[in-house]
């Protein structure tokens, strides 16, 4: 990770309904206090199935999010509410050495150019797949990854694979975040400036809402 070199910053405040910041490295007492505080705000919220979300489900989702947060290399993680059947959209923000990154243009994802106003040119990688559902209709899963790189560091803002309507809903928040997000060096204040990817289509990114 190269997050000791770069710090996240927002040019202006972003308020996205349903986005919950997930802290990391909490002790047992802090975890319980955080879950209790957040749970009070979420219990009874209506889920995607139109049914109010119970305290047990909220507790399970928050506990799972904290465990996921401690396992990942992300420098920031958000869980997006409401949920669907125990599943939630999750946004990870990570900064990694460019030399360790895969060739994003050589994958099964749909790849298009994307530009963030305070970061620079990058790409949007969109994935979709169908999984069988015993006793019910097949389920469509999707994920979206925005990648920006310079010669040394790569910024990755990802919506992890989730139930497609959850991804569609969360994508609006990611776009709002990317409109204001920038990286700066804490010691000098120098902003991160990405460089363009070669050999990527310039047409508009794949429209997720077409499948919603």
Residues 136-182: tens digit of each pLDDT: 788 899 999 999 999 899 999 999 999 999 999 999 999 999 999 99
User: 38-55 burial, b for 16+ CB within 10 Å, e for fewer?
Assistant: beeebeeeebeeeeebee
- Classify residue 133: in a domain, yes or no: yes
**Long-range contacts formed by 57-65: CB under 8 A, 24+ apart:** 57/83, 57/86, 59/35, 60/86, 61/86, 61/88, 62/34, 62/35, 62/38, 63/31, 63/35, 65/20, 65/22, 65/90
Tokens 């920031």 correspond to: 76
* Contact status, residue 142 vs residue 121, Cβ threshold 8 Å: no
pLDDT of residue 209: 41
Tell me if 2 is assigned to some domain: no
Work out the number of other CB atoms within 10 angstroms of the CB of residue 83: 24
Considering only CA atoms, give the Rg of the chain.
18
Give me the pLDDT at residue 3, please: 57
In a domain, 29, yes or no: yes
The pLDDT of residue 201 is: 62
pLDDT for the residue 93? 97
Instruction: Work out the angle at residue 77's Cα, subtended by the Cα atoms of residues 76 and 79, and round it to the nearest 5 degrees.
Output: 155
pLDDT, position 133: 82
CA-CA distance, 194 to 173, in Å (whole number)?
A: 22
Q: Is residue 137 part of a domain?
A: yes
- pTM, entire model: 0.88
Cα distances from 114 to residues 102, 137, 149, 200, 206, in angstroms, run: 18, 33, 12, 10, 11
| Model pLDDT, residue 83 | 85
Q: What is the pLDDT of residues 118-132, one digit of tens each?
A: 999 999 999 999 998
Cβ burial, residue 138 (10 Å; 0-12/13-18/19+): exposed
Tokens 């904290």, residue?
Answer: 66
Range of the domain at 132: 7-206
Look at residues 73, 191, 166, 174 and name the one whose alpha carbon lies nearest to residue 114.
Answer: 174
Structurally, the chain folds into a number of domains equal to: 1
pLDDT along the chain (212 residues), means of 10: 76 90 95 95 86 91 95 94 87 94 83 94 94 85 96 95 94 96 92 88 49 38
pLDDT at 207: 45
Query: In whole angstroms, what is the distance from residue 126 CA to residue 147 CA?
Result: 11
pLDDT confidence of residue 39:
93
């Amino acid at each position: 990770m190269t997050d000791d070199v770069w710090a996240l910053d927002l040019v202006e405040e972003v308020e996205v309904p349903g986005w919950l910041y997930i802290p990391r490295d909490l002790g047992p007492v802090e975890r319980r206090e955080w879950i209790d505080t957040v749970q009070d705000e979420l219990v009874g919220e209506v889920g995607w199935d139109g049914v109010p979300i119970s305290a047990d489900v909220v507790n399970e989702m928050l506990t799972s999010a904290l465990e996921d947060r401690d396992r990942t290399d992300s420098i920031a993680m958000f869980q997006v509410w409401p949920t669907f059947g125990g599943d939630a959209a999750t946004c990870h923000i990570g900064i990694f050495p460019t030399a360790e990154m895969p060739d994003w243009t050589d994958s099964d994802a749909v790849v298009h150019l994307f530009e963030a106003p305070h970061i620079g040119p990058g790409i949007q990688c969109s994935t979709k797949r169908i999984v069988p559902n015993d006793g019910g209709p097949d389920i469509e899963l999707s994920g979206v990854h925005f990648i920006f790189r310079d010669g040394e560091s790569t910024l990755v803002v990802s919506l992890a694979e989730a139930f497609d309507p959850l991804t569609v809903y969360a994508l609006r928040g990611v776009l709002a975040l990317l409109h204001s997000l920038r990286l700066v060096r804490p010691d000098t204040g120098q902003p991160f400036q990405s460089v363009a990817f070669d050999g990527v289509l310039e047409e508009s990114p794949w429209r997720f809402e077409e499948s919603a």
